[in-house]
Each structure stands twice: as structure tokens, then as C-alpha cells.
Structure 1
Amino acid sequence: MTYDLPRRFDESRDFLPVRFAVLTVSDTRQASDDRSGDTLAQRIVDAGHNLVARGLVRDEDDAIAAQLREWIADPGIDAVLSTGGTGLTGRDVTVEAHRAIYEKEIDAFATLFTLISAAKIGTSAIQSRACAGVAGGTYLFALPGSPGACRDAWDEILAPQFDYRHLPCNFVEIMPRLDEHLRRK
């Protein structure tokens, strides 16, 4: 089983770079051996986007949530990609930290990620709790901690969705309206 997702681009539209932050969640990784964070950072830059922040925190709800909130409050960051802590073990708390912050969850991200993963790793895809949401006008994605999973998420979902030229719709074109509910108050 493979998924060949359709991709259409309107080449008459200009590419609009997005400002990303990458957060690695791990009790064992250091900046020097953060292959998953490196994978995401390189793909962001190679796609023409801006990598404006990068961090590494332990698998602790408070540490993850604090970093997410700091980046959500930063008007220079449009999207945060975290890697690690999405599994089933007791120390895997990234999903809980993310969901405590989301104003709206992007439910279909988890579904689509699972379909793509299943095509590559079979039923082992069931062990991932990858998720996504929006808070304070910032996109938040919690990805598994393997470089392969980060590649799959970026290449198959995030790269096209963060390209303004992608049709029929994409995350970039709705960015100006993500926090409209906050402006109405």
C-alpha cells in the first residue's frame, strides 16, 4: 500500500517564506546528535523558508509548554515543529503539552500522517500520536522523534501545505486569519 498524494501548484503565485521554529523534545539528545531536529531544520531552509529559532527541552510537560508559549508569543514565528515525545511510554508527554495549548486542533494532520506512515512502516504506525493545532495565530505540529518520521511529515504534508502556491488550498493563505478571534475581543 502506497499513497501518491496529488500535488498541484499555481506557478503564477509567488512563493511566500514562512518563519519556523524547531523544538526537539528528548531526555537523551543533545544539539550535537539531534538528527531529527537537523532533518527538519535542513528541509525548512532547503524549501526557502526561514528557520528563526531552535531549541531542545526534556520530556517534561512544563518545559515543552513554556517553550511553545514563548514562541507563540513571538510575532516573528509563524509555525513550530516539535520532534520527539509522541509515543506511548510514560515519559512521552509532548502531545499532552501541545493539546493543553491548542485553541483549535488540526485533526486531519494525525490521520494523514498515520496513513503515510502505515504505507512505509505498516501497523507500527499505530504507535505514533503525532498531532497539530493552532494557538495565538501560530501553527504547532508534534512529530515523532525519528528522522524518517520527520522526513515523511515534512515531505508529504508540511512542505506542500506551507507553500502558498499549493492548490486547492494551503496553510499559508489562511495565516492572516488564524488569530482573527483574538482581534475581535
Structure 2
Amino acid sequence: MSWGKHDGIKINDINVMVVIASDTLASGERDLKEDLSSGIIIEELKNMKITKIRKIYSSDDKDELSGILDNAIKTKIELIIISGGTGLSNRDNSFEVLNAKCEKIMMGFGEEFRRKSIEEIGYKGMMSRASAGITEKSVIFSLPGSKNAVRLGMKIISEIINHIIEIMGDN
């Protein structure tokens, strides 16, 4: 990986998709007003001067989530942030879907997320399967659905996204 100057795409030019992976929100079983995570993500993106943001709700179904990511990648969405589906239940599939799509996994993102989570909530933080990777011209992050986890994930993302986008623009 090069750490020098890059002349790739600029952060405020990117297209972003926020995917909320939740069976109950996607089905209408829960009111969309109960979705507090996407508001935090979008607010943090706007703080980074990112304005081209689209939000979508997906069930936790592997095929549905995979199809949404395929479409986002095909339509040249540079940044995809998934919230939800990172736990250990049978319906938590964000980790598997992200890993199936990505050509390169950013191991350090998940490692740092879990390290910081353990500092905040104790060893339960090890159960998170937060992850990140790149495919073609998209970078994908997968965060847990809780407000605190989203805040933590977005803090980490905000520190690294400029460099990732610049490198991807050079490819």
C-alpha cells in the first residue's frame, strides 16, 4: 500500500449508499421512525462534506442483501455502509455477504472496532463481526445496528475514508 500523495477521486464527489439490514424495519413490522442508526450515519457523512447519500432498507436475507450490494457496485456507488446483521444469530448475514463481495478485506477495521468496543462494553465487544473491504470501485463497511456501535464505526470510518477513496481513485 502506498502512503504517498494521491490524486484520485475527492471525498465530497463520492456516491454513498446506507443499507439498514433489519427484518423488522424492512418488513414494516417496526416503524421507520425507530431507525436511529441511519440518522447517525447520514449526519456523520454530512459532517465529512458528503452529500450524495441514498438510504435503503433490506431484510437480513443473504440473497436480498447480496442483490442490493450487487446493484450498488454496478451503479458505481463508491461507499456502502451497512448497519445491522453483524451479530451471531442465524439471520445476521452482513459479514458473510460483505466477505463474498470484497476482493480485499480490511482486517484492521474490524480489529480496531472490536478493540474499541471491548474498551466501551467489555468482552461482549468480541462478538461483533464488524468488517470492511473493497471490491471494484466500492468500499463497503458493515457496522452493528446499535446507536453506540454506529457512532464508534463512523468515528473510525471518518479517520480513514479520505485515504481509502484517494487510493481507489488511483486504481
Q: TM-score range by the shorter chain?
A: 0.7 to 0.9
Question: What is aligned with 1:87?
Answer: 87
Q: Give structure 1 stretches of 5+ with no counterpart.
A: 1-14, 164-169, 181-185
Provide the C-alpha distance between the structure 1 equivalents of 2:160 and 2:139, rounded to a whole number of angstroms: 12
The RMSD of aligned alpha carbons is: 1.4
Moved more, 93-102 or 23-32: 23-32
- Does the aligned pair in 2 maintain the 1:41–1:51 contact within 8 Å? no
Moved more, 15-24 or 101-110: 15-24
Question: What is aligned with 2:41?
Answer: 40
* 1:23 to 2:19 alignment: yes
The superposition leaves residues 17-43 of structure 1 with CA deviations (integer Å, 9 ceiling, x where unpaired) of 133210000011253321111110111
Where do 4+ consecutive residues of structure 1 move more than 3 Å? Answer: none
Q: Which structure dedicates a bigger proportion of its chain to helix?
A: 2
| Structure 2 counterpart of 1:174, from 142, 167, 170 | 167
2:24 aligned counterpart, secondary structure: coil
Question: What is aligned with 1:60?
Answer: 61
The normalised TM-score by structure 1 is 0.79
Aligned length: 156
Q: Give structure 2 stretches of 5+ with no counterpart.
A: 1-9, 26-30
1:162 aligned counterpart, secondary structure: helix
The normalised TM-score by structure 2 is 0.85
Identity %: 28
- Does the aligned pair in 2 maintain the 1:44–1:51 contact within 8 Å? no
Equivalent position amino acid for 1:158 in 2: I
Provide the C-alpha distance between the structure 2 equivalents of 1:160 and 1:50, rounded to a whole number of angstroms: 18
Q: 1:173 deviation in Å? A: 2.0
